[in-house]
Amino acid sequence: MEPGAGVARVQLEGAAALELDYAVPEKWAGRVSVGTRVTVPLQNQRVPAVVIELLESSPHRHRLKEIAGIVGSRPMFTPGLLRLADWVAEYYLVPVHRVLRAMLPQAVRDRPETFLKDSHLKLVREPAPEVLDKMTTRAPLQARLLEELRRRGGEATLSDLRRDLPSATTVIKSLLKNGWITRAEIRVTRDPFQTEEFLPSQPLTLTEEQQAAYDAVIEAVRKPADAKPLLLHGVTGSGKTEVYLQAITDVLKAGKTALVLVPEISLTPQTIERFKARFSERKDSIAVLHSHLSDGERHDEWFKVQEGRADIVIGARSAIFAPLERLGLIIVDEEHEPSYKQEDAPRYHARDLAVVRGRLEGCAVLLGSATPSLESFQNALTGKYELLRMTRRTDGKSMPLIRIIDMRLQRRKGTGTSIGNAMILSERLRTAVTARLERREQTILFLNRRGFHTTLDCTACGEVVQCQDCAVPMTLHKADNRLVCHICGARRVPPTKCPSCKEPGLKYGGFGTERVEAAVREVFPQARIARVDTDTMQRKNQLRDTLKDFRAQKLDILIGTQMIAKGLDFPNVTLVGVLNADTALNLPDFRAAERTLQLLIQVAGRAGRGELKGEVFVQTYAPHSPAIQFARHNNFEGFAEQELEHRQAFKYPPYGHMVLISSRGKHQTQAEFTLQTLHKRLEQGLPEGAVMGEPSPSSLAKAHGQYRFQLLLRTERIRPLARHLGKVMASITLPPEILVTWDVDPVSLG
Ligand code: ADP
Ligand code: ZN
């Protein structure tokens, strides 16, 4: 038995899987638990670490050094999260300390428990009028402050008083001394929604389909040990959110907590409002975690969870690591969204982690989507997940009519709105917009490309003007007359002569949202139009304000990128135009068809959400491709069946896993050679059933000045392959100029 209060086994935060034992000093008995962040002495330094286990004594012989400090007043990791970290480390082949780092927001890691402070001031007794009079002549500032306090009902915070009385801080000292007021230190939470009003919403009477889904969820919440993860396939407008809300109500009633993941992009004020409104009497116990918060807000929201003051967390991808305890239900909305994949190490998939966390912590998991990922859908077909279906809109309306417009015909007829040779609006779509303007209904036009022109080519030599550092054409942004690289952000003044042959015949082509806006303004000069993309939505709250205006029908037409494709619900929108359905279809990715179908169904779901019937126009040069045809009939399951067959034939996911190894470097041959070396080493002892491709250039062959190569492996079982890869990587020395990364279950093959 060690002297002191036992032994803490820690994982260093800054070093590869290194577990060390330290003694817990007597003075901290009971304050060090599993999950506590500490500092420990190591080679004359103090380094941060996380306690992963408490022991009575250490197997090591030598006398242990003592823990040097404790960070924060409570453990930063729950036991459940520590187990999840181990799982992530093993499955995605990342050192566990990197996972632990990723689990804490940077603002929490760097500034643990630095909260904003304020003083709460309270009047001890009412000053009599004559006293106040005297004071006004002798100490006018003190008199003013008492007056202000009285006006505020006898109490106020210092920061509030300072607004009217800049000198309040000094005056307070005298008032305290003379016993007029008391002061208490309080903590201020930087609440991103402090100023918002939420009208309470009442639970709706569920439709039959909703009721069945809800019952299944509740059953799983009650008996998580017997339940499979649930996959809710509900068409857009079928009322999935209402099912979530009512299920969460039950979870809270049972004294448990709920975690709701939504894609970053649909973490709009509208989404958050629906939750805050339903739980309006406890809205302070909802924490929101996403990337648009300020550091301070994120810090405070996170501690709200860690201190147990929040029992609902709504957040994007990384909120899967929210330190909630007593988890009753994890919901992943729009579970098919690629943005659930973290593309930097540790490269994890938050939807998959939701299922794992649910299993580790014994809680129910609900994945919801109108267009489930084929991975999840396949799991439902094989019985690994339980499939719940909601096939009808809550309002009993039929799904919007989807009309496919063959742009090849349009182009031949030449009747649409085109500039140069790019057809932007077909005649049919233009007529449909006109009709909406006449009926005072609203239109959304969708195009997943920013900028004005998307290419600049030389007519003499055929040269495409590319970014010097990336193998992609540059996009013209007309507002500031610059060519911009959408990969690295490089900007330059558009050349007037071909950079290669010096001839003047440069020609722009292609179109993005900026050009669509210009064209639409020209065709419909009387319409009120707004564009929503990352170029126009720079200012904080700009997106919120624009959407508010659109909802209030101060705008007729909304033009936008994927920022407007998801989750928005505007009852007066009766027309959605997809200007180019082929952008996703032409991606060099085996999921291109799946992505296209998802996009079309999601975008179409924005139309006809209210009393009025919706219509969707899809412009395409490939009208007969299966993704477009199945989307047209809103037939997700038909598509899934056909696509799964195809995937099976090629052994693509969900039939087997992929591991994508990439190399990057300034020198092309070195980057390629590195992967070839790795390829050779991996071949020896490659686990049975694993198949390895050949090193080849990535589809984005150069980015940020670095050449990119990739090597694709396929396997039915990840762990043996991950272990093999881990061993090879540990035994091989790679040139330091070449960055080699690996991605388990990649969602993008770029
Ligand atoms: P989804 O998330 O499946 O696209 P929503 O949850 O946004 O669908 O619901 C679509 C619309 O239907 C919303 O306006 C919602 O308020 C309404 N709604 C949901 N459930 C019901 C119900 N049981 N009765 C009436 N309206 C409902
Ligand atoms: Zn670039």
Q: What is the pLDDT of residues 248-306, one digit of tens each?
A: 999 999 999 999 999 987 777 778 888 989 998 887 899 999 888 888 889 999 999 99
The bridge status of strand 557-560 relative to strand 364-369 is unpaired
- What CA–CA distance (Å, rounded) separates 85 from 91? 10
Q: What is the mean pLDDT of residues 338-360?
A: 95
Q: What is the pLDDT of residue 1?
A: 45
Average pLDDT over the chain, rounded to an integer: 89
* Ligand closest to the CA atom of residue 246: 1
Q: What is the mean pLDDT of residues 536-541?
A: 80
Q: Which of 59-73, 315-329, 501-515, 527-541 has the highest mean pLDDT?
A: 315-329
Q: Strand (E) positions, 621-738?
A: 657-665, 691-692, 696-703, 706-715
Nearest Cα residue to atom 9 of ligand 1:
239
Report how far ligand 2's centroid is from the alpha carbon of 706 (Å): 10
Residue appearing with tokens 């959110």: 241
Residue appearing with tokens 């290194």: 18
Q: How far is CA 234 from CA 209, 210, 543, in A?
A: 9, 9, 27
Q: What is the pLDDT of residue 564?
A: 79
By most ligand atoms within 8 Å of CB, the mutation choice from 208, 232, 240, 242 for ligand 1 is: 242
Q: How far is CA 397 from CA 435, 613, 614, 633, 636, in A?
A: 21, 8, 10, 15, 18
Q: How far is CA 721 from CA 83, 389, 688, 714, in A?
A: 21, 36, 9, 9
Report how far ligand 1's centroid is from the alpha carbon of 524 (Å): 33
Task: For residue 348, report the phi and psi dihedrals to the nearest 5 degrees.
Answer: -115, 165
**Nearest CA-CA partner of 166 in 183, 145, 186:** 145
- Amino acid, res. 317: R
* Ligand closest to the CA atom of residue 474: 2
CB atoms within 10 A of CB 714: 19
Total residues belonging to the chain: 750
Report how far ligand 1's centroid is from the alpha carbon of 395 (Å): 8
Q: What is the mean pLDDT of residues 488-493?
A: 93
- What CA–CA distance (Å, rounded) separates 556 from 563? 18
Q: What is the pLDDT of residue 284?
A: 81
Write out the two tokens for 597: 């179908």
- What CA–CA distance (Å, rounded) separates 31 from 24? 9
Q: How far is CA 384 from CA 229, 292, 303, 352, in A?
A: 8, 36, 35, 13
pLDDT digits (tens, 9 = 90+) for 37-63: 999 998 889 999 999 999 888 777 678
Q: Which residues lie below 8 Å from residue 450, measured CB to CB, with a gap of 6+?
A: 475, 477, 486, 512, 513, 514, 533, 534, 535, 561
Q: How far is CA 158 from CA 115, 163, 264, 393, in A?
A: 16, 9, 36, 52
**Nearest CA-CA partner of 460 in 494, 510, 497:** 497
Report how far ligand 1's centroid is from the alpha carbon of 436 (Å): 24
Do residues 94 and 345 lie in contact, with contact meaning Cβ atoms separated by under 8 Å? Answer: yes
- What CA–CA distance (Å, rounded) separates 475 from 494? 10
- What CA–CA distance (Å, rounded) separates 304 from 105? 13
Write out the two tokens for 476: 């013209």
Provide the 3-class DSSP secondary structure of residue 624: coil
- What CA–CA distance (Å, rounded) separates 88 from 97? 11
Q: Give the pLDDT band of residue 567 (cuts 50, 70, 90).
A: low
Q: Give the pLDDT band of residue 17 (cuts 50, 70, 90).
A: low
Q: Is the pLDDT of residue 18 over 90?
A: no
* Ligand closest to the CA atom of residue 266: 1
Residue appearing with tokens 């307070």: 172
pLDDT digits (tens, 9 = 90+) for 448-487: 999 999 999 999 898 999 999 998 999 999 998 999 999 9
- What CA–CA distance (Å, rounded) separates 358 from 343? 23
**Closest ligand 1 atom to Cα of 210:** 23
Do residues 97 and 288 lie in contact, with contact meaning Cβ atoms separated by under 8 Å? Answer: no
Phi-psi region of 389 (alpha: psi -120 to 50; beta: other; left: phi over 0): beta
Residue 444, strand partner residues: 558, 576
Q: Give the pLDDT band of residue 701 (cuts 50, 70, 90).
A: very high
Write out the two tokens for 115: 């909260």
Buried b (16+ CB within 10 A) or exposed e, 543-581: beebbeebbeeebbbbbbbbbbbbbbbbebbbbbbbbbb
**Closest ligand 1 atom to Cα of 244:** 6
Instruction: Output the DSSP codes for 479-521.
Output: GGTEEE-TTT--EEPPPSS-TTT--S-EEEE---HHHHHHHHH
Higher pLDDT, 373 or 199: 373
On the 0-12 / 13-18 / 19+ scale of CB atoms within 10 A, 62 is: exposed
Percent of the chain clearing pLDDT 70 (strictly above)? 96
Write out the two tokens for 740: 């080699």
Residue appearing with tokens 């790679």: 734
Q: Is the pLDDT of residue 2 over 50?
A: no
137-142-143 Cα angle (round to 5): 60
By most ligand atoms within 8 Å of CB, the mutation choice from 206, 231, 241 for ligand 1 is: 241
Q: What is the DSSP letter of 464?
A: B
Report how far ligand 2's centroid is from the alpha carbon of 517 (Å): 25
On the 0-12 / 13-18 / 19+ scale of CB atoms within 10 A, 541 is: exposed
Q: Is the pLDDT of residue 416 over 70?
A: no
* Ligand closest to the CA atom of residue 487: 2
Q: What is the mean pLDDT of residues 85-108?
A: 93
Alpha helices in 511-577 (DSSP H): 513-523, 542-551
**Closest ligand 1 atom to Cα of 236:** 4
Q: What is the mean pLDDT of residues 148-169?
A: 80
Report how far ligand 2's centroid is from the alpha carbon of 476 (Å): 13
- What CA–CA distance (Å, rounded) separates 144 from 152? 12
Q: Is the pLDDT of residue 197 over 50?
A: yes
Write out the two tokens for 107: 């603002």
Q: How far is CA 39 from CA 54, 74, 113, 557, in A?
A: 16, 14, 15, 56
Write out the two tokens for 89: 């480390």
pLDDT digits (tens, 9 = 90+) for 608-643: 766 777 899 999 999 999 999 999 999 999 999 999
By most ligand atoms within 8 Å of CB, the mutation choice from 394, 551, 603 for ligand 1 is: 394
Q: What is the mean pLDDT of residues 569-576?
A: 88
Residues lining ligand 1, judged by CB closer than 6 Å? 204-207, 210, 234, 236-242, 394, 569
Q: Is the pLDDT of residue 644 over 70?
A: yes
pLDDT digits (tens, 9 = 90+) for 478-488: 998 999 999 99
Q: How far is CA 741 from CA 344, 678, 711, in A?
A: 9, 12, 10
- What CA–CA distance (Å, rounded) separates 372 from 385? 12
Residue 232, strand partner residues: 368, 388
Do residues 52 and 82 lie in contact, with contact meaning Cβ atoms separated by under 8 Å? Answer: yes
**Nearest CA-CA partner of 501 in 540, 457, 469, 470:** 457
Radius of gyration from C-alpha coordinates of the chain: 30
Task: For residue 486, report the phi and psi dihedrals to the nearest 5 degrees.
Answer: -80, 0
Report how far ligand 1's centroid is from the alpha carbon of 235 (Å): 11
pTM to 2 decimal places:
0.88
Report how far ligand 1's centroid is from the alpha carbon of 611 (Å): 13
